Amino acid sequence: MNQEDPRRTAGAGAESGRPEEQVRDWQRNTWFGPSPHHTGNPFDEPDDAPELRDSRSPNVNDHVGEFWQQDSTGYHFGDTQSGQGKRKHRRSEGTGQQRTEFTGSVQPVRNGKSRASGRAMSEKERQERRNRSGRGVKALFISLGAVAVLLLIARYAVFSIREIRVIGNSSVTDEDVVRVSGIREGDSILSLDEKYVEARVESDYRLQFRYLAKTLPSTVTLSVREREACCWLTYGGILYTMDKNRMVMTETENLDELPASLVEVKGLNIRSGCRVGQTMILATQDQQSIFRNLFLEMKVLGCTGLILEADLSNANSILMQTREGFMVSLGNYLDLHAKLRSMLLVRSELIRMGVSGGIINVSNPVSPVYSPPKGG
């Protein structure tokens, strides 16, 4: 006969004073003291209470059903103000056990998600939004980098200068013109600055800038004009040659080799600028203007080589001498083009007639006057 375990007792029946025979077997065999630690499912009943299994749901141990599929379990308790439930502790009648009850508003689960789950999902959505933003920024930087690479390729590979053409020069070599201009092969043709090139070309006293042409993708044409000496003079024992803008082209102390094809200029009142590559400055603006206009008109009419000398000492009586020996009186500095043209017509007619020497007065270009030399 099995001896009864001393740890077992009548439990609640004995405690309430009920007779032993009124206590059920499963109550009599209830554990007294700490409950045993089961290693299995917590819903499993002890072996000595098998009748409780019949009252359990057949799915309780399988965890199937809507309840087990929810993201969170139970309700979230709380009032309408703080969202947190209020607990009331009550002691159960008859058993003496303390029971906790929750009061306040109950937030039910909506769409299968609790408020905590909703907060978690909101955080997840924010994280996803940040990830999408990060991916967008990354894609933008990649696109900008690709565009920058394409621009660099276009600038230094496709549109790089490979050919430089120089026109308009005669005594100055192409290599010298290119060197002075600052244009280099391999530079970007798109970023080539015409103003920069013009300033570089004009810095060389021998050259004048005309234009710069770009032929995409890689050809540059630079048009220049060489400064041409049109006259000479002696000042302080030094012989200077100048162009029509009074730019000093050469200087020498050897007075035995006079420029045979240039016009000797007399009567200039020089103030400064007597150096090669400098513009000779005259004492008055009127004299500077007369000098420039006279030699400009002679170049236009192509008669610079026909004139031996020009005396500009008197602005109201400009005198010249042709290489055939004709003296020419232009009068003042007005209507220089018409006066020079009239002089050329009279000169040609006199040469045709076999006349030499004398004075051609074209102060009134419409009615020129020829005076033969004395004793002629």
Give me 33's structure tokens.
């003291």
Residue 305 backbone phi and psi in degrees, to 5: -70, -10
> What local confidence, expressed as pLDDT, does residue 234 receive?
95
The tens digit of pLDDT for each residue in 37-85 reads: 545 555 555 555 666 666 666 665 566 666 666 665 455 544 444 444 4
The tens digit of pLDDT for each residue in 198-222 reads: 999 999 999 999 999 999 999 999 9
> What local confidence, expressed as pLDDT, does residue 83 receive?
46
Q: What is the mean pLDDT of the chain?
A: 80
Rounded-to-integer distance, Cα 107 and Cα 76, Å = 5
> What local confidence, expressed as pLDDT, does residue 9 receive?
46
Of 289 and 116, the structure prediction assigns the larger pLDDT to 289
pTM: 0.58
Q: Specify the amino acid at residue 243.
A: D
Residue range 163-226 in CATH 1.10.10? no
* Mean per-residue pLDDT, 180-192: 92
Of 90 and 290, the structure prediction assigns the larger pLDDT to 290
**Alpha carbons within 13 A on the beta-carbon side of 12:** 9
Of 79 and 352, the structure prediction assigns the larger pLDDT to 352
124 pLDDT higher than 50: yes
> What local confidence, expressed as pLDDT, does residue 98 receive?
52
The residue behind tokens 């630690």 is 37
Q: How confident is the model at residue 129 (pLDDT cuts 50, 70, 90)?
A: confident
The tens digit of pLDDT for each residue in 292-301 reads: 999 999 999 9
Q: Are strands 248-252 and 76-77 parallel, antiparallel or unpaired?
A: unpaired
Give me 272's structure tokens.
């400064």
> What local confidence, expressed as pLDDT, does residue 145 receive?
83
Measure Cα distances from 62 to 57, 108, 245 in Å.
Answer: 10, 25, 110
The CATH fold of domain 231-371? Rossmann fold (3.40.50)
Where do the structural domains in the chain lie, given as residue ranges? 163-226, 231-371
* Strand order, beta sheet including 207-215: 163-167, 219-226, 207-215
The tens digit of pLDDT for each residue in 9-39 reads: 444 444 444 545 566 665 555 555 555 554 5
The tens digit of pLDDT for each residue in 237-278 reads: 999 999 999 999 999 999 988 898 999 999 999 999 999 999
Number of H helices and E strands in the chain, helices first, is 9, 18
174 pLDDT higher than 80: yes
Of 151 and 35, the structure prediction assigns the larger pLDDT to 151
Q: Measured at the alpha carbon of residue 325, what is the angle toward residues 320 and 328, in degrees to the nearest 5?
A: 30
> What local confidence, expressed as pLDDT, does residue 233 receive?
97
Rounded-to-integer distance, Cα 104 and Cα 194, Å = 84
Q: Measured at the alpha carbon of residue 95, what is the angle toward residues 92 and 96, in degrees to the nearest 5?
A: 65
